[in-house]
Chains A and B, each alone.
Chain A
Amino acid sequence: MRQLVILSGKGGTGKTTVASALIRLSGARACADCDVDAPNLHLVNRHYSSGETAPYWGLPLADIDPVLCTACGECEVNCRFGAIIPGAPHRVDPYACEGCGVCVLVCPTDAINMRPHEAGTMTLYAQENRVFSTAQLRTGAGTSGLLVSQVKKRMNEAMKEDIPLAIVDGSPGIGCPVIATLSGADVTLIVAEPSLSGISDLERIVKTARGFGVRIAVCVNKANINPEKAEQIRRYCERETLFFAGVIPYDPLAIEAVNRGQTIADTPCPSGKAVREIYRNILPLLERGQTGV
């Protein structure tokens, strides 16, 4: 089984648009949306019936027992995150609480405990031979590598042995969720944006991906917005011996397709044509995988 992960560095580059098209073109029967803060893949990844949901338990947060609380204020004084709301009884603000446990330590009446906190919901769609794993982090929660790991784990566990390719829509950024997304990947396709900030973000995500020994391919989306910067990216890939997979033009038809819940591979359009080309270009990388020559 080969795993292809679509990453970007910065959000808004078109990762999900590209990922959904590749899923359609490749017929991949296993996929996952690891952008747990703002998942979008399910909006264009139809063809699944109902999914099985499960709660995601994030960082345990403090919880004050109103019966035992004497409102002495020790917790408030010692909380570094402004997470205690004074009153009779005192209460914890779950949006500010960082789960450190200091209040538990200082409470003279043992009124405070750390409780698992439902920080999101995971959904698994599995039917016949196909599986799609996704999740949604709750508003105000911290982005978590743990949730990403669980999304992938659920995809892997639900997969039958004979699925040759899994495609994962990754999270933006370069942090812990991206590292969790890269774990176990064979190839990553980075969707870059031809802008000043896009290039700086590309460099950071390449640096992160390199540490994983995963094969790196780069494509430029909305390339015609700034052809000079798009060319800069192509030259950067050459210098850094990264596989340059191609460019995709800005395409209003892409938006129309997405708004209909379709991928750009489902309807004739310039961006769809460009993604087909990119798919053809990265196929050899997928076949070779991590240890191929």
Chain B
Amino acid sequence: MPKSMRGFTDTDRMGRKTIAVLSGKGGTGKTFVSVNLACVSAPSTYVDCDAEEPNGHLYFKPQGFRAQKIDVPLPRVDSARCDGCRKCVDFCAYHALAWANGSLLVFDELCHGCAGCVMVCPNHALSEVRRNIGEIREGMSGRVRVLSGFLNPGEASGMPIIKALLERKNGGAGEFIFVDCPPGSSCMVSESVKDADYCVLVAEPTLFGAHNLKMVHELVKLHEKPCGAVLNKCLPGDDPSLDYCRAEGIPILARIPFDEELGLLNSNASIAVLESERYRLLFRELLLEIETEVPDAAAGHP
């Protein structure tokens, strides 16, 4: 039985289980898996943390998609107080400030909102204002509560959006919350995984897929999360991802065969479990597998 369990201190959970769905690379089927799992376990919540390239809402087409702006702090200069000492320009680790022609230029998208410039200014010429970097939208699709993050193109980091999404994840009905993580194993994925009870790793049966699976598995191990794998687009023949899972003792929750018809459905943003009985059954079984693997949420409570 998996160890862990750093995440079990949230008393708002009320027995809800948060399942993070991740893959090492884009295009393996993360969204496909999380969208269909959310559908088949309804009432449930689906959270799209891939704020740079959100896709889940294309499948769900939620009703009443209410938006909430997400703002971050930004420095603003009072030129009357500014004497051009440039301490702020020199301090900024992201080069978000420049001095040209007697005035301070601020590069919004590079600013990380650390407020260091405000602190170093000897003349109190800098203050903080709020700047919009994107929004989160919430709506219903049947009995699935859909939460999606949208980062404005050109922005530096989706972190504040992911944080805002995760703060809201517990507000819906049903037992399961599926978090569709950004691809890769960067700091943003790390944030999406932090409060998960269980991680589903989606992998392709190729050499590349196995390589990327290993990377995302390392991230999951770092967070000490229990996990299982879903092998997607499977074909007869060698499966290096399967080999990796066996070698590492990662339980295989499902093997989804490559299917041209499914490829077509997906490229048109249709939800497989609603269009096909075969996939509805497949995902029901996958859900059961996850249910038996996820540790009881109450077990870790202090």
Say if the two chains contact directly (CB < 8 Å).
yes
Q: Which residues of A line the B interface, CB within 8 A?
A: 10-13, 16, 37-38, 40, 43-44, 59-60, 78, 80-81, 95-96, 98-102, 105-106, 114, 137, 139-143, 172-173, 193-198, 201, 204, 222, 224-226, 229, 250, 252, 255-256, 258-259, 261
Q: Which of A12, A13, A98 contacts B112 (CB 8 A)?
A: A98
Q: Tell me if A258 and B207 are in contact (CB < 8 A).
A: yes
Q: What distance in Å separates the Cβ of A75 from its nearest Cβ neighbour in chain B? A: 12
Who on chain B is nearest to A17 by CB? B208
Chain B contacts with A in 47-101, Cβ cutoff 8 A: 52-53, 55, 58, 91, 93-94
Q: Which of A37, A250, A255 contacts B206 (CB 8 A)?
A: A255
B contact residues around A16 at 8 Å (CB): 208
A225 and B119 in contact (CB under 8 A), knowing A95-B190, A197-B53, A197-B58?
Answer: no
Given contacts A194-B267, A195-B268, A226-B267, 13 further A-B contacts (CB under 8 A): A11-B25, A11-B183, A37-B185, A40-B212, A96-B187, A98-B114, A102-B114, A105-B120, A173-B52, A250-B260, A258-B207, A258-B208, A259-B206
Q: Which of B55, B112, B219, B267 contacts A140 (CB 8 A)?
A: B219
* B21-34 near A? 1/0 per residue, CB < 8 Å: 00011111000000
Per the bound structure, the CA–CA distance linking A101 and B112 in Å amounts to: 11
Per the bound structure, the CA–CA distance linking A86 and B263 in Å amounts to: 48
Per the bound structure, the CA–CA distance linking A2 and B183 in Å amounts to: 32
A contact residues around B263 at 8 Å (CB): 222, 225-226, 250
Q: Tell me if B27 and A10 are in contact (CB < 8 A).
A: yes
Q: Tell me if A140 and B186 are in contact (CB < 8 A).
A: yes
SS class, residues of chain B in contact with chain A: loop
Chain B contacts with A in 189-241, Cβ cutoff 8 A: 190, 205-208, 211-212, 215, 218-219, 222, 235, 237-238, 240
Chain B contacts with A in 250-287, Cβ cutoff 8 A: 258, 260, 263-264, 266-269
Per the bound structure, the CA–CA distance linking A40 and B213 in Å amounts to: 12
A-B residue pair count with CB separations less than 8 angstroms? 137
* Chain B CB within 10 Å, residue with most, of A13, A60, A256: A256
* Chain A CB within 10 Å, residue with most, of B91, B94, B190, B206: B206
Q: What distance in Å separates the Cβ of B123 from its nearest Cβ neighbour in chain A? A: 16
Per the bound structure, the CA–CA distance linking A100 and B116 in Å amounts to: 7
Q: Tell me if B24 and A80 are in contact (CB < 8 A).
A: no
* B1-27 near A? 1/0 per residue, CB < 8 Å: 000000000000000000000001111
Per the bound structure, the CA–CA distance linking A59 and B215 in Å amounts to: 21
B113 contacts chain A at the CB level, 8 A cutoff:
yes
Per the bound structure, the CA–CA distance linking A16 and B207 in Å amounts to: 12
Q: Tell me if A10 and B93 are in contact (CB < 8 A).
A: no
Q: Tell me if B268 and A226 are in contact (CB < 8 A).
A: yes
B contact residues around A80 at 8 Å (CB): 112-115
Q: Tell me if A258 and B206 are in contact (CB < 8 A).
A: yes
Q: Which of B93, B116, B153, B219 contacts A139 (CB 8 A)?
A: B219
